[in-house]
Chains A and B, each alone.
Chain A
Amino acid sequence: MKINRKWWLIALVLCLVFATISPLASYFPDGLEKVAEDNGFLSAAGETPFEFIADYTFPGIENEAVATILAGWLGVLVLFVIAYGLAWLIILKKKGKTNI
């Protein structure tokens, strides 16, 4: 079965579109945060040793929605590249192995 090569470009654009609506996401605490809050252990959460794009907000940008969208776009592209690259590497290693 032949798989059209262009489908994943369309899918990638769709992911970027989803990332663009991310400022509309709910700001309520998630299930775990809520349980931690209700049971008095939320304060146990520690500071992170370093911050790059904490809370999905791109640093240095005043408009919070824009900062969130940029973080989303960056994440989508970074993850596509990492997972694609990793899969490619796994196959490369496999081919190397069978040649030996």
Chain B
Amino acid sequence: MHIPDGFLNAATVGTTYVLAVGGVANAIRVAREKLGEKHIPMMGILAAFVFTAQMLNFPIIGGTSGHVIGAALVAILLGPWAAVIIMSVVLITQSFIFQDGGLLALGANILNMGIIACLGAYYIYNPVNTLLGSNRRSKLVASFIAAWGSVLLASIACAIELALSGVSPMGVVLPAMAGIHALIGIGEGLITAVVLSLIMSTRADLLALERI
């Protein structure tokens, strides 16, 4: 879902950059208050994991592929604002070194796959987990729903930005983006739940880190 340069108009580029910079600044402010030494290796590993997971496109229907965003897993493990930092670091590196996602579109990509996906996932996961009883099964079910929701929310934000930029009418691009990402989100949900389940069985102590 990395937007290349050329899709967004100047107003959308400007607005999304302002929102992205504001979000990242807040993330760093929160991290300064709460980040502890135990979080450091986890931050490194999750950034590396998100990068490699995003390389692994899986085929869905109709000659289309999708890849995991990873925001949900990171938000569940470390909290929404630490997740915003990790996703931003990955997206900035992808844009500058790997030419994946435009430089002008970077604000929008951080807003969609960073801020919206991370906050969305976290604020879906917690209430759903609590509602379902806050046990192993509820955590896995909630992680699937949160991951699916995070992809859908990011794709809707992306569609709105494209429509506001005038590349395609809202009535066309919104259902198209939401529809295809509702499918890609199933992959995100399954992978998020599987990885969370693996961490729970092998290193449950990592789940006890303070959420940031």
> Which residues of A are interface residues toward B (Cβ below 8 A)?
1-3, 5, 7-8, 11-12, 15-16, 18-19, 21-22, 24-32, 34-36, 38-39, 41, 44-46, 48-49, 51-56, 68, 71-72, 75-84, 86-88, 90-91, 93-94, 97
Check B64–A54 contact: CB distance below 8 A.
Answer: no
Closest chain B CB from A69 CB (angstroms): 10
What residues of A have a CB within 8 angstroms of the CB of B5 in the complex? Answer: 45-46, 48
What residues of B have a CB within 8 angstroms of the CB of A15 in the complex? Answer: 45, 48-49, 51-52
**Count of residues in B whose CB is under 8 Å from the partner chain:** 69
Check A19–B55 contact: CB distance below 8 A.
Answer: yes
Known contacts A7-B206, A36-B7; A83 and B32 CB within 8 A of each other = no
> Which residues of B are interface residues toward A (Cβ below 8 A)?
1-7, 28, 31-33, 35-53, 55-59, 62-67, 85-86, 89-90, 93, 96-100, 102-103, 155, 158, 162, 167-168, 172-173, 176-177, 180-181, 184, 203, 205-206, 208
- With A and B bound together, what is the CA distance between A41 and B173 in angstroms? 11
Check B57–A25 contact: CB distance below 8 A.
Answer: yes
The binding surface of chain B is classed by DSSP as: helix
Check B167–A44 contact: CB distance below 8 A.
Answer: yes
Q: List 12 A-B residue pairs with CB atoms under 8 Å apart, sorted by A's residue number.
A: A8-B45, A12-B45, A22-B55, A34-B63, A36-B7, A38-B176, A48-B99, A79-B50, A79-B90, A79-B93, A81-B44, A87-B85
